[in-house]
Amino acid sequence: GAVVSQHPSWVICKSGTSVKIECRSLDFQATTMFWYRQFPKQSLMLMATSNEGSKATYEQGVEKDKFLINHASLTLSTLTVTSAHPEDSSFYICSARDRDSYYGYTFGSGTRLTVV
């Protein structure tokens, strides 16, 4: 079946630095990628939707200059958390829209970001 490879699985960074998270779709073309954030004991909250070759659409309350999303190819989307702070510590998950899948969505394995 369709697989989305997400890296890194976990990362610890210092406050003020930037972190890049990659999601690659294997065996299929991900024209749309959804980025979610999940705080402890809470559900997945949509941050942004990106379509290949165009600018991402951000949900209300999500700073587009802080969370940079690039979807330059049909198989790769990246999320860069710029100038990270401890409150950005969270679990970030990507989800690709797979038109060949009956269910339509394939999730990455998630990235645990800890900012110290």
Partner 1 sequence: GQNIDQPTEMTATEGAIVQINCTYQTSGFNGLFWYQQHAGEAPTFLSYNVLDGLEEKGRFSSFLSRSKGYSYLLLKELQMKDSASYLCAVRDHPGTALIFGKGTTLSVSS
List of E strands, 8-115 = 10-13, 19-26, 32-38, 45-51, 57-58, 67-73, 76-81, 90-97, 105-107, 111-115
* CA–CA separation, 8 and 64 (whole Å): 21
116: Cβ contacts below 8 Å, ≥ 6 apart:
12, 13, 14, 15, 86
* CA–CA separation, 72 and 55 (whole Å): 10
Interface with partner 1 by CB under 8 A: which range of 21-29, 41-49, 61-69, 78-86?
41-49
Q: For partner 1, which residue of 23, 24, 28, 34 counts as binding (CB under 8 A)?
A: 34
Q: Does 110 bind partner 1 (CB under 8 A)?
A: yes
Q: Does 91 bind partner 1 (CB under 8 A)?
A: yes
Question: In the bound complex, what is the minimum distance in angstroms from residue 5's beta carbon to partner 1?
Answer: 12
Q: Does 95 bind partner 1 (CB under 8 A)?
A: yes
| Binding characters for partner 1, 51-90, by CB under 8 A (x = yes) | ----------------------------------------
Q: Does 93 bind partner 1 (CB under 8 A)?
A: yes
Rounded to a whole number of angstroms, the CA Rg of the chain reads 13
Q: Where do contacts with partner 1 occur on this chain (CB under 8 A)?
A: 6, 32, 34, 36, 41-46, 49, 91, 93, 95, 97, 102-105, 107-110, 112
